[in-house]
Structure 1
Amino acid sequence: MSIAITGTRSTGHREITWYTDLFARYLGPFASDDAHFCIGGAKGIDSLSLLWLAGHARSSITIVVPGTVEQQPAEAQETISRCQDRIGEVVELRAPELRTPAYYARNRYMVDRSEMVIGFPLDGGDSTSGTWQTIEHAATSRKPRLIVPV
C-alpha cells in the first residue's frame, strides 16, 4: 500500500516522545515491509515522521520537495541526510518559485501517487492550511484519509 503523509510544520508544542508514541499508534499499523510512504521534505511532521519510519519500519520511503532539497529548511535537510540510507527516492519537482502553488503541486503529486493519506493537522489550526488542502485533495480523489490532529 502507498500512503502519503501530510502534517503541520508547527510541532514545538509537544515533546518528541509524544510524536514517537503517536506515530507508533497511527503509522505503525501500516508500516509493513510492502508499504510505501510518500512524505514531503519539510520540517515538522514531515521530518518527524521520516525519522520515526526510518528507525522503526522497513517500509520504502519517498521524499517529495517542491523545489530542491537544498531549498528546504536546514532542519529538513539534516533529517533527509540523516535518513539517506532509508530513503528509496527523492523527487525534486524544481518549481521556479517556492510559493503556495508549488507546495500545492507537491501535495497533489503525493496524493495522486498514493492509495491513502494520513494527515496530522494542527489541532484548532487554519482549515486552509497545506495539510487540509492535501486532505481535501485526497477526499476529492475518493481516497481514504486518516486524520489525527496534533
Structure 2
Amino acid sequence: MRTVTITGTRRTGHKTPAEYADLFEHYLGPFAHGAHFYLGGAAGIDSLALLWLAERTGADITIVAPGTMDQQPAEAQEAVARSRARIKEVVELGAAELQAPAYHARNRWMVDRTLMTVGFPHATEPSTGTWQTIDYTAERGKPRLIVPV
C-alpha cells in the first residue's frame, strides 16, 4: 500500500477552496487509489486536504495530533468530525506541551510510517514545520513532492 504524509501551511486564506481542490486533484489525486494518507490534524492544509480526501477518494486516512484532538484548533476538530466516517484512525501522541518540539515529533512520527511526503508550504514561509517535515523526509531518503501555495 502506498503511504503518504501530507504537510502544509496553516495560512490558506490567500486561495479559494476551488483553487485548493484543484491543487489536491492534481497533486494528491494521482496517489489516492489504494493509498493511506497521514495528516497532522491541524488547521489550514491539513483540514482542507482531509475534507478533499474524505469527499473525493476512497483512500485510508489517519489523523495524527501532537497532544489530543481536543487541543486542536476548532477548524481542525470540525474537519475531523465531518470526515469521521472516512477516517481509519486518529492517533493522539499525548504531548504535554504544544510547542514546536511536539509538532516536530508528530511530523517525524508520520514520516517514519510513510513512503513519501507531499508538502504544501506557503511561498513566503522559508522556515516552518512544513519545511522541517520536508527536510526530515529528505534526510530519510524518501521522495517528496513540494507544491508551493
TM-score (ref. length: structure 1): 0.98
Q: Which amino acid aligns with 1:53?
A: L
How far residue 10 of structure 1 moved from its aligned partner, in angstroms, is 0.1
Q: Which residue of 2 aligns with 1:27?
A: 28
2-structure distance, mates of 1:58, 1:16: 20
Q: Which residue of 2 aligns with 1:101?
A: 101
- The structure 1 segments of at least 4 consecutive aligned residues displaced by more than 6 Å after TM superposition are none
Q: Which amino acid aligns with 2:75?
A: E
How far residue 124 of structure 1 moved from its aligned partner, in angstroms, is 2.2
TM-score (ref. length: structure 2): 0.98
Matches within 5 A, 1:93-132: 93-125=93-125, 127-132=126-131
Which ranges in structure 1 are unaligned for 5 or more consecutive residues? none
- CA RMSD for the aligned pairs? 0.5
- % of aligned pairs identical? 61
How far residue 128 of structure 1 moved from its aligned partner, in angstroms, is 1.7
Q: Which residue of 2 aligns with 1:62?
A: 62
Matches within 5 A, 1:1-150: 1-32=2-33, 34-125=34-125, 127-150=126-149
Q: Which amino acid aligns with 2:133?
A: T
CA offsets 1:8-62 (integer angstroms, 9 cap, x no match): 0000011110001110010000010x21000000000000000000011001000
Q: Equivalent residue of 2:62, what SS? A: strand
Give the number of equivalent residue pairs. 148
1-structure distance, mates of 2:147, 2:83: 24
